[in-house]
């Protein structure tokens, strides 16, 4: 989608994402994969170089996706010099829930009918191979599960055992439940999104 920009040379059509990025607003939408993570890397790098004092607003609506790609986005949010505010605008499931929860406390906002979902990491593909290979895959998956649970514990203030219990199945949180669990700070509205 393009928007019109009026200038001294007339009207120019600009992609709406470009226009929103000029207001320091970026989006994580759809599946989290390597392409989404690299796109986010470019945007966050540019905005940090442009002005590291002005806040960056991140809007997330994602069913989750690849753990490695999600961890790249996580690391970038954690290391951003510019202040981060994050908004859940629909859903933040699985890896997307961790990305949402990792924003600084007091800066995690959710729209009234959005939701979060936590669960254990799952294998994306059919498992094949000999017993040693399968054991190695299982050990790696358990290590990943422990790492993700530790990160959720860090960002929610919950004990690791509580996170383990919550991620043992597909656990959905409405906004009030997300705030109570420590995943989110505030239910928000368009007015808050439009604030500078």
Q: Are 121 and 100 in contact (CB under 8 A)?
A: no
Instruction: Verify whether residue 140 is a known catalytic residue.
Output: no
Catalytic residue, chosen from 119, 131, 133, 189, is 119
In the predicted structure, residue 31 carries a pLDDT above the cut 80: yes
| Among 81, 82, 102, CA closest to 28 | 102
**What pLDDT digit, counting tens, does each position of 65-110 carry?**
999 999 999 999 999 999 999 999 999 999 999 999 999 999 999 9
The percentage of the chain sitting over the pLDDT mark of 70, rounded to a whole number, equals 91
**What pLDDT digit, counting tens, does each position of 155-169 carry?**
999 999 999 999 999
In 10 A of CB 68, how many CB atoms?
A: 13
Residue ranges with strand state E in the chain? 2-7, 10-15, 25-29, 56-62, 84-93, 108-110, 115-118, 171-173, 186-187
Q: Are 152 and 167 in contact (CB under 8 A)?
A: yes
pLDDT the model gives residue 9:
78
Tokens 């753990």 map to which residue? 67
Catalytic residue, chosen from 94, 131, 171, 189, is 94
Longest dimension (CA), the chain: 69
Using CA atoms in the order 5, 10, 13, 17, what is the torsion angle rounded to 10 degrees? -30
- The CATH T-level fold of domain 2-194 is 2-enoyl-CoA Hydratase; Chain A, domain 1 (3.90.226)
Confidence of residue 192 (pLDDT cuts 50, 70, 90): confident
Instruction: Verify whether residue 189 is a known catalytic residue.
Output: no
Enter the tokens of residue 75: 């690391």
pLDDT the model gives residue 187:
98
Please tell me which of 120-124, 135-139, 178-182 the model is most confident about, judged by mean pLDDT.
Answer: 178-182
């Amino acid at each position: 989608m393009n928007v019109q920009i009026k200038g001294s040379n007339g009207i120019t059509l600009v992609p709406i994402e470009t226009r929103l990025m000029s207001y320091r607003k970026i989006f994580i939408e759809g599946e989290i994969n390597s392409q989404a993570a690299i796109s986010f890397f470019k945007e966050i790098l540019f905005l940090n170089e442009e002005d590291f004092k002005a806040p960056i607003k991140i809007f997330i609506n994602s069913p989750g996706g690849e753990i490695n790609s999600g961890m790249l986005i996580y690391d970038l949010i954690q290391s951003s010099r510019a202040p981060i505010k994050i908004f859940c605008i629909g859903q933040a499931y699985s890896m997307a829930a961790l990305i949402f929860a990792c924003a600084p406390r007091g800066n995690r906002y959710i729209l009234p009918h959005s939701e979060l979902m936590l669960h254990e990491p799952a294998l994306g593909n059919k498992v094949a191979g000999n017993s040693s290979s399968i054991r190695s895959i299982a050990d790696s998956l358990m290590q990943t599960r422990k790492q993700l649970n530790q990160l959720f514990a860090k960002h929610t203030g919950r004990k690791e055992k509580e996170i383990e219990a919550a991620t043992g199945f597909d656990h959905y949180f409405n906004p009030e439940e997300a705030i109570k669990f420590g995943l989110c700070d505030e239910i928000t509205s368009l007015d808050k999104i439009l604030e500078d």
